[in-house]
Amino acid sequence: MSKVISQPNKQPMFSPEHGVYVVLFGSFLSGTALAQHWTLATTLAFCAAFLGFQAEYPWEMQVKQRKSLKPRFLFWGSLYSLGAAGIALWLYFQAPVLLWIYLGAIAALIIDLTETWFKARKSIANELVTFAAVCLCAPFAYAATTGTLSLTAMGLWLLNTCYFSSSIFSVKLRKPKTNALLPGILYHAIAAVIVTGLYLLGGLSLATALAFSLALLKFGLIAGRKEWYCNAPIQTVAILETSFALGFIAIVALSVLPAHLPV
């Protein structure tokens, strides 16, 4: 029988995955830059994305409890979920094309919670799914603002996913069981092919596609100084990852803007 413990603690729960905030904000900014406008729908989309991201954490914590129900996790998971769902529903009536993005986000949440149940949340596959889900903020921002989807908007999703997922393989080098370079080399090679393909198909401009070179540069620097990287303080690693991420975000956002914004 499930066990319910005391009353829910009203102290807000926020995701401790600080690096993912950068991914969320950066992806959303790139989609907004592509849309070339910021409207009420854009603001609501950002709120929905933020609430949706926050909802994942208490649900994940609840799933980890197995049969013990924690009112605090249920309260905040429900509150964040209802807030995100309410805004998402309103935006859907303005732009029905958002349904495809919602389905992708829901599928990613189900996969994440399933992996959590089976204690495999930190697997590479699960982390790739998580980054891909958060990077949906790019087409989400674009579709909510313009009411449509485009090849470039989906290209930004893949580009952001390829770039931000690269950090998975650099961070895992710091762990003895996953410090082999080969997985990272293979990933970056495949990701580079995907980004090149997007450029050749017209989904990304050359300048936008070249932003991915920062991921190659970062991994090359880390591989070249692997011993230092593996022993560096976590704060140093965070600064390195954040600095490259901000550079990537700036290049992508600027590269999709026109010479003059429409009035």
pTM summary value: 0.90
Which tokens go with 160? 């952001």
Q: What is the mean pLDDT of residues 216-242?
A: 92
Q: What is the pLDDT of residue 250?
A: 96
Check whether 45 has a pLDDT greater than 70: yes
Q: What is the mean pLDDT of residues 78-105?
A: 95
Q: What is the pLDDT of residue 66?
A: 73
Q: What is the pLDDT of residue 18?
A: 82
pLDDT band at 185 (very low <50, low <70, confident <90, very high): very high
Check whether 3 has a pLDDT greater than 80: no
Least confident span in 14-18, 21-25, 95-99, 208-212: 14-18
Q: What is the mean pLDDT of residues 242-246?
A: 95
Give the distance from CA 103 to its chain's centroid.
16
Residue 216 has a CB neighbour count (10 Å cut-off) of 16
Check whether 6 has a pLDDT greater than 50: no
Q: What is the mean pLDDT of residues 30-47?
A: 95
3-class DSSP state for residue 9?
coil
CA angle (259 as vertex; 256, 263 as ends), nearest 5: 100
- Highest mean pLDDT: which of 11-20, 110-119, 201-210? 201-210
Check whether 7 has a pLDDT greater than 80: no
Q: What is the CA radius of gyration of the chain?
A: 19
Q: What percent of the chain has pLDDT over 70?
A: 93
Q: How far apart are CA 173 and CA 176, in angstroms?
A: 7
Check whether 2 has a pLDDT greater than 60: no
Q: How far apart are CA 263 and CA 69, in angstroms?
A: 53
More confident residue, 216 or 118: 216
Single-letter code of the amino acid located at 125: A
pLDDT band at 117 (very low <50, low <70, confident <90, very high): confident
Query: Taking each helix axis from N to C terminus, what angle separates 137-146 and 151-171, rounded to the nearest 10 degrees?
Result: 160
